[in-house]
Amino acid sequence: MPAMQNAYPSTKLSVHDTVKTRTCTSCKKTISPDEKPVIFLCPNCGKVEIIRCNMCRKQGVKYVCPVCGFVGP
């Protein structure tokens, strides 16, 4: 009889797992993994993800789409 496998694989991260880092489109700073940025597609072209940190979002710092040049609040 074959050994039974766990139906729910472990979600525990090891030291060797990498964390995906994100960069704010407005200020270009690296966003920490515990911060929850706002992520959306460019409202004009829809081809690129716009990522905004909490500080830029709260302060209304403008962002520029790198594909189409759309400027947003």
Closest CA to 42 of 62, 67, 21: 67
Domain boundaries, the chain: 22-72
What is the token pair recorded at 1?
């009889």
Answer for the pair 10, 21: CB distance below 8 angstroms, yes or no. Answer: no
pLDDT tens figures, 14-50: 666 666 789 999 999 999 878 889 999 999 999 999 9
Mean of the pLDDT values across residues 42-63?
A: 95
Question: For residue 5, what pLDDT is reported?
Answer: 57
Predicted TM-score of the model (pTM): 0.69
Answer for the pair 25, 50: CB distance below 8 angstroms, yes or no. Answer: yes
Closest CA to 29 of 55, 49, 1: 55
